């Protein structure tokens, strides 16, 4: 089975009717489509309401751009001093070696920048990006993202990781990827070995939005990473109609922890063009996060975050649990909703 990269491919795979394909033609002209053979097989019997189907198969709603939506919703461009680098926080940078992904999520905040055949940094451009890191001793952590860096060959990944390892002030490399749940067979022993280098701590953040993504092949890929000693973090986007209820989030976060992934961030969806149908309100997200506090342990609690538009970074978006009482003390709310005075 071949990967799907067009509406024609999706129709041929039985994931949409010809009429549905015509309805998303304008969307397909603007935003990239890609589903791996693994996902095509996984979704063979799925319908449009399926939580995995909705993440990867285009819908007519994407043709609408809300007034508040942006081409660059989190300000990558304004924070990019050299090609391939985004420097938003003092002690860490993003390194984007390529703009291609194995799959294209319909809610992606970089959907205007990524696509099939997405541009990769040339050797000279990668050298310049690494030189930038080398010239900034305040940079302690390098987040390798994109696109999806695990699309690179093990040889190229090893070159990047070992080049960062040679920079004395870099202590951590963190790779962001969808590959373990989008193309798990790609996570080979050779690829895993390429992610490690002396004198450098390798971490990986895996983007997973629903417990149904934790299939047997995905769990195997995750285990290969964890067994190699690579600490794993979970990145999740809060998505209307996919995971915006407490039971779905509880199942997901317990599933992640069961597979040795620490839930890290629960992202409020960014203001990417054509994604308003995925976005709950902040109030709805805060209520969900509050409801999780008593349902699952601290191991299963990510930080709910809002990426402030314009390149200003992430802010915790959770409701306030401890607040001033107006009398010099505080009121603390427990997971049942009961409040308690605190003086201290």
Q: Would strands 330-333 and 339-342 be described as parallel, antiparallel, or unpaired?
A: antiparallel
Contacts of residue 190, Cβ cutoff 8 Å, sequence gap at least 6: 154
- Which among 53, 212, 270, 304 is annotated as catalytic? 270
CB 52 within 8 A of CB 43: yes
The two tokens of residue 283 are 């109030």
Residue by residue, DSSP assigns 222-254 as HHHHHHTT--EEEEEE--TTTT-SHHHHHHHHH
Given the residues 105, 174, 183, 279, the one annotated as active site:
105
Please give the Cα distance from 76 to 93 (Å, whole number).
Answer: 11
Active-site annotation holds for 89 = yes
Please give the C-alpha separations between residue 17 and each of 7, 13, 35, 104, 275, in angstroms, as whole numbers: 10, 10, 17, 20, 22
Question: CB–CB of 52/42 below 8 Å?
Answer: yes
- Active-site residue flag, 300: no
Q: Which of 38, 72, 79, 88 is catalytic?
A: 88
Catalytic, out of 92, 134, 162, 224: 92
- 110 catalytically annotated: yes
Q: Active site residue: 72, 96, 101, 212, which one?
A: 101
Distance CA 43, CA 251 (A): 20
The answer to whether 270 is a known catalytic residue is yes
The one catalytic residue among 53, 72, 96, 108: 108
Helix, strand or coil, per DSSP, at residue 68: coil
The verdict on whether 105 is a catalytic residue reads yes
Structure-token pair, residue 318: 């959770």
Give the other-Cβ count within 10 Å of 252's Cβ: 25
Q: Hey, what are 65's tokens? A: 């751009």
Q: Is 279 a catalytic residue?
A: no
Pairwise CA distance, residues 73 & 62, whole Å: 16
Q: Give the span between the Cα atoms of 340 and 196, in whole angstroms.
A: 48
**H or E segment and range at residue 89:** strand 85-89
Strands 314-316 and 339-342: unpaired
Q: Is 224 assigned a catalytic role?
A: no
| Pairwise CA distance, residues 112 & 176, whole Å | 19
Residues serving a catalytic function are: 88-89, 92, 101, 105, 108, 110, 270, 307, 314
């Amino acid at each position: 089975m071949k990967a799907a990269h067009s509406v024609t491919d999706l129709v041929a795979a039985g994931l949409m009717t010809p009429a549905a394909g015509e309805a998303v033609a304008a969307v397909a002209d603007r935003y990239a489509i890609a589903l791996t053979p693994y996902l095509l097989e996984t979704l063979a019997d799925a319908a449009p309401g399926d939580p995995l189907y909705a993440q990867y198969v285009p819908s007519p709603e994407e043709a609408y751009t809300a007034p508040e939506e942006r081409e660059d919703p989190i300000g990558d461009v304004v924070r990019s001093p050299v090609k391939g680098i985004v420097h938003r926080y003092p002690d860490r940078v993003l390194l984007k070696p390529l703009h291609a992904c194995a799959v294209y999520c319909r809610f992606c905040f970089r959907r205007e920048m990524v696509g099939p055949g997405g541009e990769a940094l040339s050797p000279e451009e990668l050298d310049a990006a690494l030189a930038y890191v080398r010239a900034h001793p305040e940079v302690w952590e390098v987040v390798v993202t994109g696109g999806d860096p695990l699309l690179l060959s093990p040889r190229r990944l090893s070159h990047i990781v070992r080049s960062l390892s040679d920079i004395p002030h870099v202590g951590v490399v963190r790779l962001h990827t969808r590959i373990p749940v989008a193309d798990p067979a790609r996570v080979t022993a050779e690829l895993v070995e390429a992610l490690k280098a002396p004198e450098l701590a390798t971490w990986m953040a895996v983007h997973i939005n629903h417990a149904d993504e934790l299939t047997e092949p995905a769990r195997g890929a995750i285990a290969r990473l964890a067994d190699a000693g690579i600490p794993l973090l979970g990145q999740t986007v809060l998505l209307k109609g996919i995971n915006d209820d407490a039971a779905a989030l509880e199942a997901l976060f317990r599933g992640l922890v069961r597979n040795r992934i620490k839930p890290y961030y629960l992202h409020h969806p960014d203001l990417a063009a054509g994604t308003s149908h995925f976005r709950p309100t902040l109030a709805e997200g805060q209520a969900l996060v509050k409801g999780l506090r008593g349902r699952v342990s601290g191991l299963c609690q990510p930080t709910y975050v809002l990426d402030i538009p314009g390149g200003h970074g992430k802010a915790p978006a959770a409701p306030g649990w401890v607040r001033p009482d107006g009398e010099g003390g505080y009121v603390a709310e427990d997971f049942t909703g009961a409040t308690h005075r605190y003086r201290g």
